Structure 1
Amino acid sequence: MSENFKKIRRRVWLLLNIGVALWVLLGVLCLQVPPHKFWPAGFIAFSLPGALALNILFLFYWLLRRSWFVALPLALILLGWNYYERLVSINTADQTPEAGAKTLQVLSFNTHVFNAYADQDGNVRQASMDMVDWVATHPADVLCLQEFYSNRGSSIYNTVNKIGTRYDRYRFFSVSYVDRSKADIGIVIFSKYPITGKGVIRFGESNHNRAIWTDLNVKGDTIRVYTAHLQSMSIKSQDIENTYSAIGDKDTFNKEGRNLARRLRKGFIARSNQVEILLEHIRESPYPVIVCGDLNDIPFSYTYNELAEELTNAFVEAGTGVGATYNGPLPFLRIDNQFYSKELKAYDFITHQEMGLSDHYPISAKYEILPKGAQPQ
């Protein structure tokens, strides 16, 4: 191989690497841009994981070539390490608090109405009962449940009684919809600690998507817990299958692709508005906060980024691995989260993949309530 060809090849790879670096920088910039003001920013930010992964590949490429150009991807990794932590979390140190510390365990779970609407012929009844029992017997102090379903006339789906009353839990249930069987659907917080304050945050005209908050008296300290259910991605597995199956048919593929793009754009815009309403309320809280729920957005989104700039993400600080929470056809999506304020410290974060009966995996974290004036380590 001639020296000229080697030089040309190296320049091409360097230009590609520079292109990926610019892609990363543009993606990071777009995380700051509200999609309701400039919706293409949502798509560019959404593509950021691909750019970060390619940058890793260039790192290994230049290492194998023993080229000083390795400095480019390495510098990008070092400068953007907090974005890589959103992809994969590595926490090996023992974070367990000292004996006697005040702690609080919080579970967040989109229950997918306990699959009640898939139970028309009784085929999934046992799975629904298993899901209700799993939630009811979970040892968490606080249960934050989205797409919660309760039917007082049903022996199986009387979940307010099975999860709350039976275990002497306090509750705040905000009902967004009552179906034909008079079942209540909405968002709920169950707590073993007394609720001293509560409220609903409505997102404009949206009825189904909302957030609720409760002030909990935790052994003398007041902690405000939010749980939110933001605008859905509105993408079903059939939509993805239709797009894949249309590969090779240009007209059908373009049609399905445009359909997916429209739904993504609608979601980006709605959630960017909703997170701003939520944050406005959080900023006014007089107490330490824990914010959890189904964000329906990945860590590379305006929604997640706005929360991460003001609060700490429990998975990043205390989780391990990829932490995917979506139990569907798109792998590696982490769309359920817990965030918390500086007066707390997270440890023992778990993504409960053993509970695979919903389209979301539950997540739980334990929190140490730091003494007043103390700073997290």
Structure 2
Amino acid sequence: MLNIAVVLLFLAACLAPYISPAWFWPISFLTLAFPFLLGLLVFFLVGWLLFNYRYALLSLTAILLGWKSITAYFAFNLPANNKPLAADESIMVMSYNVSQFGLYKEKDSKYNRQAMFALIKKQEPDIACFQDFYTSERKNDFNNREDISHEMKLPYRFFSSDFNRNGMQHWGSIIYSKYPIIASDKVKMSEGPLSESLIYADIVRNGDTIRIVNMHLESYRFNQKDYSAIKKIKNQEDTGLVATKSIVQKMREAYIRRSQQADIVGGFIRQSPYPVIVCGDFNDTPASYTYFKIRGDLQDAFLQKGIGIGRTFSGLAPTLRIDYIFVSPYFKVNSFRKINSDLSDHYPVIANLSITGKKPAADDVNK
């Protein structure tokens, strides 16, 4: 009976990419359990193969039916094939949720900021997409927008400035480029005072126009009280019925809002007249509706060259890959890596790309 229950839950999780949380939100919670459900299926499969192989068919059938979701969650590549090309033959792309450079992490954030600047500079990105970005024009504050352009030799940029305080302090997402930007804009992904924008910049490299897309999708908006409650529940210190209700409500709202944002983002990408490089903190796993809706037929750089689960968020669970780089088939992914740094609660992800030399037809750019 337990095996049957796990099979049913696993198959329900595999339906999540096809069912918008705006229509049926409970299924989204199963996407967080996806790798654990898969682990249980493998356990049952091996166990039944040893004791009664006929019962193993149940788990095996479920795994085969869920193969699309499995191959989106796990990367199966050899490390030997993960090698970047020389700088003059490739484009180095970095995506990083910088958590405001530690603005609220400690009393004096300058040391965290300096370390983060050093980390970014060492990677020598040609294109850098940052989420949860903070900059200021106040005296004795950090003008990160200008400083990164100067220190990283990335002179071209576009910043969303979704939130500002007194016109001097700004928060949002930003795109930096070594290559000239010929067009840029932002697209509101949802309504409300706390909504952020999708931003894009069309760059020109060696005569090729490429559209860079960057976004930060809706988070759960957990506060410190929520994280403390989650920790107590995990440690079985508290049944947490009241806290659980609040946490579930926040997660429900986030799932619904992200699905609506994903519909907008997916449509925008498909309409692009140019090949795209899509970066962002999606706040959702590879088993989700959000992931599949935005990815479409694009290549996931991690799946092309990474290995394993590829965790990019340091909190909550060791299975959370929520930061992505997607690219059009027009590109070849030469290498992918993430840096396990504790400077932010997200790990930076970096992809080395080259152009295949095969220009797609106008109608087939980003299907």
Do they superpose with TM above 0.5? yes
Query: Which secondary structure state, in structure 2, belongs to the residue aligned with residue 310 of structure 1?
Result: coil
Equivalent of 1:135 in 120, 123, 133: 120
| More off after superposition, 131-140 vs 212-221 | 131-140
Equivalent of 2:9 in 17, 23, 44: 23
CA shift digits 1:91-117 (9 cap, x unpaired): 105255888995211100011110123
Q: 2:280 matched to 1:280?
A: no
1:112 and 1:148 in contact (8 A); partners too: yes
Alignment gaps of 5+ in structure 2:
none
Question: After superposition, where does 1:330-341 map in structure 2 within 5 Å?
Answer: 330-341=317-328
Q: Which amino acid aligns with 1:113?
A: Q
| More off after superposition, 124-133 vs 63-72 | 63-72
Q: Which amino acid aligns with 1:52?
A: L
* Counterpart residue number, 2:150: 165
Query: Which secondary structure state, in structure 1, belongs to the residue aligned with residue 160 of structure 2?
Result: strand
Query: Which secondary structure state, in structure 1, belongs to the residue aligned with residue 18 of structure 2?
Result: coil
Larger Rg: 1
Identity %: 34
Root-mean-square deviation over aligned CA pairs:
2.5
**Shift of residue 129 of structure 1?**
1.6
1:129 and 1:156 in contact (8 A); partners too: no
* Counterpart residue number, 2:75: 89
Question: After superposition, where does 1:79-228 map in structure 2 within 5 Å?
Answer: 79-92=65-78, 94=81, 96=83, 102-119=89-106, 121-122=107-108, 124-153=109-138, 157-166=142-151, 167-179=153-165, 182-206=168-192, 207-228=194-215
Q: How many residues align?
A: 356
Distance 1:327 1:48, change over 3 A: closer
Query: Which secondary structure state, in structure 2, belongs to the residue aligned with residue 175 of structure 1?
Result: coil
2:11 and 2:66 in contact (8 A); partners too: no
Equivalent of 1:71 in 22, 47, 57: 57
**Shift of residue 242 of structure 1?**
1.7
Question: After superposition, where does 1:341-352 map in structure 2 within 5 Å?
Answer: 341-352=328-339
Query: Which secondary structure state, in structure 2, belongs to the residue aligned with residue 184 of structure 1?
Result: strand
| More off after superposition, 215-224 vs 78-87 | 78-87
**Shift of residue 291 of structure 1?**
0.9
2:190 and 2:196 in contact (8 A); partners too: no
**Shift of residue 314 of structure 1?**
1.1
Q: 2:197 matched to 1:231?
A: no
Distance 1:164 1:223, change over 3 A: same
CA shift digits 1:108-142 (9 cap, x unpaired): 001111012344x32x4212221123224431110
**Shift of residue 292 of structure 1?**
1.0
Q: Which amino acid aligns with 1:188?
A: I
Distance 1:134 1:165, change over 3 A: same
| More off after superposition, 164-173 vs 288-297 | 164-173
Distance 1:21 1:308, change over 3 A: farther
How far apart in 2 are the matches of 1:23 and 1:204?
Answer: 31
TM-score with structure 1 length normalisation?
0.86
Q: 2:287 matched to 1:300?
A: yes
How far apart in 2 are the matches of 1:23 and 1:361?
Answer: 30
TM-score with structure 2 length normalisation?
0.88
Q: 2:15 matched to 1:36?
A: no
CA shift digits 1:291-323 (9 cap, x unpaired): 111101111211012123332211111112221
2:203 and 2:210 in contact (8 A); partners too: yes
How far apart in 2 are the matches of 1:128 and 1:59?
Answer: 48
Query: Which secondary structure state, in structure 1, belongs to the residue aligned with residue 10 of structure 2?
Result: helix
2:275 and 2:328 in contact (8 A); partners too: yes
How far apart in 1 are the matches of 2:139 and 2:111?
Answer: 14
